[in-house]
Structure 1
């Protein structure tokens, strides 16, 4: 699926710190924990707890966030629709990675089992 250039630029410039509180609120409202959210982020990116906190403090953009990440080799197994986009069909790599994270957070909030969210890892 093709996203617009403006959409991709907006994704790149958005800061992880500005979105993180929304992720946390979303999962906690559904009875999940901060630790579970961090486990999902760590699985996708390879970041540890300290690195996640540092990236929030630095207010890095999603572009920088994913440049520094070591994307999980099983990330391509993340499929489905999030925000009206089928993640496996998004052509822009950065936008796809942001939507991978959105999809994982959504699955966590919907109560999926952690082993399913982490694609069997």
Structure 2
């Protein structure tokens, strides 16, 4: 089975779209960075390195310092699919990130986004 093309797309190429999406709704780049670091265990410095290296989504999640165990609490629909039902691990991680960005854009409180 061939992999979905999103796996080879660089995080750096999609990142500006995440920023634009949340800024249109009054949120900030710093908040996007915070949820990405929360999800992956990256520090702001290591996340910046990943962007600079144009790391693919597949490698970004595979090399994450420590995926947050609370990410399993992320549920709901994204692109018409329930994130908790996605079997492919990498695709589920990508959709978790999409869901977090959506929640941020919708004005959800950071504590709730980060499942605290």
Shorter chain as normaliser: what TM range? Answer: over 0.9
**Which residue does the alignment assign to 1:118?**
114
1:45 counterpart residue number:
40
Which structure 1 segments of 5+ residues have no match? none
For residue 61 of structure 1, the aligned residue among 46, 49, 56 is 56
Stretches of 4+ moved more than 2 A in 1?
Answer: none
Which whole-Å CA distance do the structure 2 matches of 1:91 and 1:14 have between them? 20
Structure 2 unmatched ranges of 5 or more:
none
- TM-score, length of structure 2 as denominator length: 0.95
Q: For 1:14-53, what aligned pairs fall within 5 Å after superposition?
A: 14-53=9-48
- Which structure would you say has the larger RCO, counting Cα contacts within 8 Å and 6 or more residues apart? 1
Cα RMSD (Å) of the superposition?
Answer: 1.0
Question: Structure 1, residues 56-110: CA drift from partner, whole Å, max 9, x if none?
Answer: 1100100110011111011110000111211000010000000000000000000
Q: Distance in 2 between matches of 1:93 and 1:78?
A: 14
Aligned length: 115
